[in-house]
Structure 1
Amino acid sequence: MSLEITMVILLAAIFNASWNAIIKVSGDRIAVMAVITLLGSLVSVFALPFVALPDPASWPLLGLAILIHTAYHFCLPMAYHYGDFGQVYPIARGSAPLLVTLGAAAFAGEMLGFLPLLGVLFLGVGVMSLAFDTSTGITRNPRAILLALGTGAFIASYTLVGGLGARQAGSVLGFAVLLTLGNGLLTFAIALIWKAKEIKRVISSNLAPAIVGGGMQVGAYWIVIWAMAYAPLGMVSALRETSVLFAALISTIILKEGFGVWRFVSSGLIACGIALTRCKP
């Protein structure tokens, strides 16, 4: 993986951790997610005239990715309802890269060399090890763990489907823009039926952070979709999950959720994983 792709994926990781923190702290979490994705879809509307439409061959995968991403938009805030940001986030994100690597091997014939594969394993284990930080007590709530793992499965699914679709699309950015437009509108429409009052409250009291979150959400996903068109799916997914390091800083400094020894352990594993993914097979 080139240095340029590595750096932009790390930027996406910062965006991803930041908008997830906004979901955690800005009111009713499903309502906040709905507003953020709606605002992200508006960004996509403005971008639409500047991108080419994806090839029709990619539309089935585009539709499937929209449905999976929408399900993820509801599973994630439900996990945050039961568990702390500093532990739900790494469980969800850490379980995804290994699943993506397996899926890429099965459906795209992508077999990583020994060192990059070892890097993916280090990244996945490093991310997941944050779940052993017991300072916030998520391990005492089985619903939080199950929802976080379910979120990880959705992340892996939309990553794999979106990456394969982008490779068929011809226009990678066109595919990404339509995906964020579709899942933003669908998420908001479903949430509006369920959480109309809460959505109005978010718009009236927390619109500014939601606007920032919407921009970072679509920016992070556009970057990742672009990267997956040019780099192995499993490596892109694993490197994106370094966002847990930024999430650990946010949960410690801003959310005051504590900093345990496992965060030092996981940081070392993740650093080793990044270095190994940059190695040639």
Structure 2
Amino acid sequence: MDLGALGLVLLAALLHAGWNALIKAVDDRAGVLAAVSAAHVVLGLFLVSVAPGPAPASWPAIATSALLHYGYYALLFRAYRLGDLSQVYPISRGLAPAAVALAAAVLVGERLPPAGWVGLACVCAGIGLLAVRRTPSSPGAIGFAVALGLLIAAYSVADGLGVRQSQSVFGYMGWLFLLEFPVPLVIALNRRLRGGHFRLGVILLGSLGGVAAVTAYGLVLYVKTIAPLGAVSAVRESSVILAALIGILVLGERPVALRLLAAAIVAVGVATLALS
């Protein structure tokens, strides 16, 4: 991987960790999540209008992934409400690829090489360290983070199968993003029924987070066309360490040494899985 591609993947990792940090840092998480999802819907509308439609065989995967994404937003809200960024992010983002690899080995017979099992062990060890409750955060945060990771793994499998059947990557992405439209609608309706409203600052922050999320996704997708897939996936997981650093240095989360060590172990484990 050349320096240009490396820089783009690192930027994508920073953007992804950054928009998650935004969700954790703000008071109105639901409002920001609504704006993030709305940004995805806008991009989806654009892609649907310019890209060929996905093949009929991919629609069950699109529907499944869309439903799982609704759960993703709900779990993301709860996890960051209860837990720290430097705890929730490494658990959820590290568990997802490990669960996908393990499921592939068990369900469809994809054999992991020895390095893959080492990577799985590292992920489990890092998550175990993060699950040690040495902070006043709610124990429920660990459960929500684990559930979030498993949900990410589930929609990753659905998307992996669906996009292969779609015959139109951007068409698949467009409909998947467009089908997020119930998320901002439900949040807005719930807020209206409670007599609340969206503050302009929240809308702007959420829109910024949505642009960051979409840009991160697009950058990784682009770099995968010009660099080795395993290397891209491995470098992408630097977001685990970046999120831990943001949580510790910007949000003041503690303990420092334990979380940095655990995040580094998770990142090494996921990178080893990707490269193996």
Q: Could you say whether these structures have the same fold, taking a TM-score greater than 0.5 normalized by the shorter chain as the test?
A: yes
Q: Quote the residue 1:179 is aligned against.
A: 176
Q: How does 1:1-281 map to 2 (within 5 A)?
A: 10-106=10-106, 109-123=109-123, 125-126=125-126, 129-132=129-132, 134=134, 136-138=135-137, 141-183=138-180, 185-196=181-192, 200-202=197-199, 204-222=200-218, 236=233, 240-270=236-266, 272-273=268-269, 276-277=272-273, 279=275
Query: Cα deviation per residue 1:70-100 (whole Å; 9 max; x = unaligned)?
Result: 1110111112112222222223223222211
1:159-178, Cα deviation, whole Å (9 max, x unpaired): 11111111111122221222
Shift in alpha-carbon separation, 1:106–1:261, aligned structure 2, 3 A: same
Using the alignment, how far apart are the partners of 2:8 and 2:121 within structure 1?
21
Identity of aligned residues (%): 33
**Structure 2 runs not aligned, ≥5 long:** none
CA contact (8 A) 1:120 1:277 kept: yes
Question: Are 1:32 and 1:199, in contact at CA under 8 Å, matched by a contact in 2?
Answer: no
Could you tell me how far apart the structure 2 residues matched to 1:144 and 1:200 are?
Answer: 28
Distance 1:267 1:150 in 2: 18
Q: Judge conservation of contact 1:180–1:218 (CA < 8 Å) in 2.
A: no
Between 1:99-108 and 1:77-86, the stretch displaced more is 99-108
Moved more, 62-71 or 14-23: 14-23
* Residue identity matched to 1:15: L
Aligned partner of residue 52 in structure 2, secondary structure: coil
Deviates more, 1:75-84 or 1:191-200: 191-200
1:198-249 C-alpha deviation (Å, 9 max, x unpaired):
88324x222322122111223344566786xx958xx95x765442211111
Pairwise CA RMSD? 3.3
Code of the residue aligned with 1:56 in structure 2: it is P
- Return 251-260 or 66-75, whichever deviates more: 251-260
Matched position secondary structure for 1:201: coil
Distance 2:31 2:151 in 1: 20
Q: Which moved more, 1:154-163 or 1:113-122?
A: 113-122
Q: What do the CA deviations read for 1:16-47 (whole angstroms, capped 9, x no partner)?
A: 21111111122321222112111221123233
Cα 1:77–1:128 shift into 2, 3 Å: farther
Q: Secondary structure at the match of 1:93?
A: helix
Please say if residues 62 and 162 of structure 1, whose CA atoms lie closer than 8 Å, have aligned partners that are also in contact. yes
> 2:55, 2:48 → 1: CA distance?
15
Matched residues in 2 for 1:199 and 1:105: separation?
48
Normalised to the residue count of structure 2, the TM-score between the two structures is 0.81
Hey, what's the Cα distance between the residues in 1 that align with 2:216 and 2:208?
Answer: 12
- 1:60 shift after superposition: 0.6
* Alpha-carbon offset, residue 277 of structure 1: 4.3
Question: Structure 1 276/6 Cα, relative in aligned 2: closer, same or farther at 3 Å?
Answer: farther
Cα separation, partners in 2 of 1:168 and 1:219, compared to 1, 3 Å: farther
Unaligned runs of at least 5 residues, structure 1: none
